[in-house]
Structure 1
Amino acid sequence: MAKALGISASYVNLLENNERSVSVAILFRLMDTYGVDWRDIAEDDNANLLPELRGAVQDPLFAQLRPDLPQLRAALIHSPDLAAAFLRLHRAYHAISDQLLSMTELAGQTPLSSPEAAVHDIFRKNRNNFRDLEEAAEAFWGTEQVERDDIYYALKRRLRDRLGVRVRVLPVEDMPFSLRDYNVTQREIQLSEALDHTNRIFQLVHMCALLELAPLLDGVIAASVLKDPQGVARLRVELANYFAAAVLMPYDAFLAEAKATKYDFDHLATRFGVSFEQACHRATTLQREGAPGVPFFFLRIDKGGNVAKRFNATSFPLAEHGGACPRLDVHTSFRTPGRIVPQFVEMPDGGRFFVFSRTVERPTWVRHAQDNRLAVAMGCSLEHVSEIGYAEPFLLSGITMTPVGINCRICPRNHCDQRAYQALTLPEPVNTMRRGATRFEA
């Protein structure tokens, strides 16, 4: 071939391995020598597929395994159908990722993950329980006996005597859009007067974690192997929150009271001097080996239906990715502020859960602002429902299951009258002569 084309054998080898492009002159020699019709080459789709393939492998997903140009050319020549299937799969991956991100803030473990998603995954891998932080919380007060009514003043004294840090409450106009700040220069923790007494206590314990237990937090963060600076900062905040909850709601005492009251969270919040939401958070962490509580998942949802926070001691898909389904009564709980809204739900895969929801209030700065009301939902699998007091009326009168899904884009329930999007899993042809329960069901 080299002699026939008038080139070196090594150059032929480079052409065969897609390491050199075929020049026009050599192309004509190939046609003349081997009787190749130029139209067969002109109609080859590989020239169009190669740029698309090169663009696809630039996705950060392939940062560690990115094939080079000769490999891409070889794939198109030797396995064109496989290359086309890869491109189709990559396009579908991007489309579904965009839709899931927009609907449920689901990001998985790709480089597209948000810091919140990465932190959530770390908590889930630890079953929402950190032994080192629990032990540090148990040792926090040492031999000092602190009555619940005196915790706020004991914390101020501790910060002053141990760290030389004072606490000051400032008017809302002096702390616009801020609830807590730490002035390093003046060694002063500034709290907004918009915080109620319960949350002032929580913020001070949180600061104790950041200032006193920095090495412990550093160790937990290092073990997480999280490298993204934003993710590390987010994880530090959530670990400090975890510690604060463990101090204010000691594991053994909180678990005993939860079981005795069948998880009455209003009672638990009152007994331990915390908010309803903080008591719910704490319940998701009761997964110590040998002394577990009910494995709850927690969702916090705003009035727009966005899942603003999730904690999870389970592997349930509703806990991991759900919250956007309009059939969940957490969305209707805004109509009855402060009341528990119980519900039994069933997922498309047959999984059944008991979920109860309630609104919670957030601090408000100005008179003319909208209320900052949010809704929280706690859920567990049906096998634990006998341990939950909120479910007792239904156990006596009978259970009615509400069919729910993750979100409309991937929900396979064909005849749902609350569908907001055409499901990717239901590519039904449009029947122009029929109108179903929604415009997506023809």
Structure 2
Amino acid sequence: MSTSKLFLGPRLRRLRRDREMSQTDMAISLGISPSYLNHLERNQRPVTAALLLKLADSYEIDVRSFASGGGARTGPDELGEIFSDALLNDLDVPRYELAELAHNVPAVADAIARLYAALKEAGRNPSIASAGDVRALVTPENWVRDYIQQHRNHYPELEACAETLGGALSDPLSMSEPMRRRLKEAWGIAARVVPQDELGNISQLYDSDRRQFLISSQLRAENRTFALAYQLALVEFAQVLDRMVAEAAPPDDGVAQLLHMSLANYAAGAIMMPYGRFLKACEEMRYSIDRLCGEFGANVEQVAHRFTTMGRPGARGVPFFMLRVDPAGNISKRYAGDQFPFSRFGGTCPRWNLHAAFQAAGQVVTQLIETPDGHRYFTVARTIERPIKSDLSGGLLAIGLGCDIRHAHKLSCAEGYDLTNAPVTPVGPACAICPRLDCGYRATAPAGRMLAVDRLKKTISPYPFVPA
């Protein structure tokens, strides 16, 4: 560990507030005085190595990530992407200032990110911008995505409820039948599979008047099971979900509905794969997705998504990040149980072989990657089918999973890898902020950097530039 002094006041204060603790409560848990903690939070005292280890032990945090500012909702890479915009890049804000902003005043960094997202949305939808209500410029998916990431995609109350219910409904043959019976016997809701023609463009529908839950016949088997779990979550955990949505204070009803759906989806996955049993199976099966799919009657996407939620203090799983993309590169899911430099406003690095999965449909594609800060990740990509069989639902999607290389030895798909000496692919964030010089995949010139183009010679990179 570096011998330089660590002033981590804002991160320590955010950790305490995220845990809804007073300074006195946290001080007692760390064995220090409240006044000393107050000095630490105000950066009047450095955090010692011993105290950092106490924080890791008491609050299940990753020491390296916490000390480096990992886990911030809006990190230096995201700010770099914002300040690379043509509107701002002439300011030449150095990265160290962006890092200080993200680490020391994270709420301000979040506000800048929200304003920039609204600005981008205003450009796409001028009519909304002229309507006068600026809150309409915060797109529902971005608001919900930020909220989920703020909570590290882990909700202890939902986990506790789902583990109790899922354990009671567990069946070695299939959870579908126990869940169908539970809906009928406890809630008077009859679940039926009906032809897609009866539902139009809807894949599942709860008819409250007739107390019927209708599931499309074109949904794949695992998605029918998930549909039952979702409807069960809506009725079993109604009060919990309503309270969580109210506490989140979404800006409008549309965002509230989307958040409610996202939380119910989370609960459905937790019902199908109860935390304790799922974590035990993950460790025994070395995170083999196919074996876990068979064990829990789930599909690849459901298991992959569940991986990112395993953040229970004292019983954490491997912290994965996950992306879901279509062949055009549109990102429709983005979750992280660990820090990863996603491009918030763009796509993925073309050197990450996530898209190679489309050329190897059904196969597992693995890769070791290294980000510009020197962090290495073991990644897995594979294609998945869309949930519903329909000519209108499009083709395949791809799932990308990854974790810090420190955890790769726990994964069955990493067996046989020489994780120390295997080839590593350098990747980066969005091209406009990527600091890598010699990259033949660069699609845009780096923002705020002087180009080093010489008409008498051509370089591998189409946009060579002068290093900072």
TM-score scaled by structure 1? 0.71
What code does the residue aligned with 2:454 have? N
Residue 394, structure 1, aligned to residue 436, structure 2: no
Cα displacement string for residues 166-199 of structure 1 (whole angstroms, at most 9, x for unaligned residues): 2221212333332112222222211111112211
Residue 311, structure 1, aligned to residue 335, structure 2: yes
Displacement of 1:357 in angstroms is: 0.8
Distance in 2, matches of 1:98 and 1:115, equals: 11
Which of 381, 398, 401 is the matching residue for 1:378?
A: 401
Distance in 1, matches of 2:186 and 2:208, equals: 15
Displacement of 1:366 in angstroms is: 4.0
Which of 125, 139, 160 is the matching residue for 2:150?
A: 125
Question: Contact 1:182 / 1:189 at 8 angstroms: preserved in 2?
Answer: yes
Which of 167, 183, 205 is the matching residue for 1:159?
A: 183
Distance in 2, matches of 1:98 and 1:240, equals: 26
Indicate the SS of the match to 1:383. helix
What code does the residue aligned with 2:272 have? L
Counterpart residue number, 1:81 = none
Displacement of 1:160 in angstroms is: 2.0
C-alpha change, 1:113 and 1:432, in structure 2 (3 Å) is: farther
Counterpart residue number, 1:338 = 362
Question: Contact 2:324 / 2:333 at 8 angstroms: preserved in 1?
Answer: yes
What code does the residue aligned with 2:364 have? I
Residue 419, structure 1, aligned to residue 442, structure 2: yes
Displacement of 1:210 in angstroms is: 1.5
Aligned residues: 347
Indicate the SS of the match to 1:338. coil
Distance in 1, matches of 2:381 and 2:119, equals: 24
What code does the residue aligned with 1:350 have? G
Indicate the SS of the match to 2:349. coil
Alignment of 1:54-203 (within 5 A): 89=88, 97=116, 112-140=137-165, 144=168, 146-203=170-227
Residue 217, structure 1, aligned to residue 279, structure 2: no
What code does the residue aligned with 1:203 have? A
What code does the residue aligned with 1:116 have? E
C-alpha change, 1:219 and 1:295, in structure 2 (3 Å) is: same
Counterpart residue number, 1:279 = 303
Residue 432, structure 1, aligned to residue 432, structure 2: no
C-alpha change, 1:292 and 1:150, in structure 2 (3 Å) is: closer
RMSD: 3.0
Query: Which has the larger Rg?
Result: 1
Counterpart residue number, 2:228 = 204
What code does the residue aligned with 2:158 have? L
Distance in 2, matches of 1:269 and 1:137, equals: 18
Residue 291, structure 1, aligned to residue 300, structure 2: no
Indicate the SS of the match to 1:127. coil
Displacement of 1:430 in angstroms is: 4.0
Cα displacement string for residues 137-164 of structure 1 (whole angstroms, at most 9, x for unaligned residues): 122267x564232522222222222222
Displacement of 1:355 in angstroms is: 1.0
C-alpha change, 1:366 and 1:252, in structure 2 (3 Å) is: closer
Cα displacement string for residues 373-400 of structure 1 (whole angstroms, at most 9, x for unaligned residues): 1111111112112112212222279311
Indicate the SS of the match to 1:140. helix
Distance in 2, matches of 1:296 and 1:151, equals: 26
Question: Contact 2:405 / 2:419 at 8 angstroms: preserved in 1?
Answer: no
What code does the residue aligned with 2:274 have? P
Q: Percent identity among equivalent residues? A: 34
Indicate the SS of the match to 2:459. coil
Counterpart residue number, 2:60 = none
Displacement of 1:330 in angstroms is: 0.7
Cα displacement string for residues 77-111 of structure 1 (whole angstroms, at most 9, x for unaligned residues): xxxxxxxxxx97599799x9579969xx9xxxx96
Question: Contact 1:364 / 1:372 at 8 angstroms: preserved in 2?
Answer: no
Structure 1: gaps of 5 or more residues? 1-86
What code does the residue aligned with 2:449 have? L
C-alpha change, 1:408 and 1:150, in structure 2 (3 Å) is: closer
Displacement of 1:296 in angstroms is: 0.7
Counterpart residue number, 1:71 = none
Indicate the SS of the match to 1:139. helix
C-alpha change, 1:269 and 1:315, in structure 2 (3 Å) is: same
Distance in 2, matches of 1:100 and 1:373, equals: 32
What code does the residue aligned with 1:388 have? L
Displacement of 1:328 in angstroms is: 0.8
Question: Contact 1:166 / 1:189 at 8 angstroms: preserved in 2?
Answer: yes
C-alpha change, 1:362 and 1:116, in structure 2 (3 Å) is: same
Indicate the SS of the match to 1:314. coil
Cα displacement string for residues 351-378 of structure 1 (whole angstroms, at most 9, x for unaligned residues): 21111111111145445x5752111111
Cα displacement string for residues 402-427 of structure 1 (whole angstroms, at most 9, x for unaligned residues): 11111212212222111112221433
Which of 424, 428, 433 is the matching residue for 1:405?
A: 428
Indicate the SS of the match to 2:214. strand
C-alpha change, 1:205 and 1:420, in structure 2 (3 Å) is: same
Distance in 2, matches of 1:434 and 1:351, equals: 33
Question: Contact 1:299 / 1:323 at 8 angstroms: preserved in 2?
Answer: no
Question: Contact 1:414 / 1:426 at 8 angstroms: preserved in 2?
Answer: no
Distance in 2, matches of 1:273 and 1:379, equals: 23
Distance in 2, matches of 1:240 and 1:153, equals: 20
C-alpha change, 1:348 and 1:392, in structure 2 (3 Å) is: same
Distance in 1, matches of 2:255 and 2:312, equals: 25
Question: Contact 2:384 / 2:398 at 8 angstroms: preserved in 1?
Answer: yes
What code does the residue aligned with 1:118 have? W
TM-score scaled by structure 2? 0.68
What code does the residue aligned with 1:331 have? H
Distance in 1, matches of 2:377 and 2:448, equals: 23
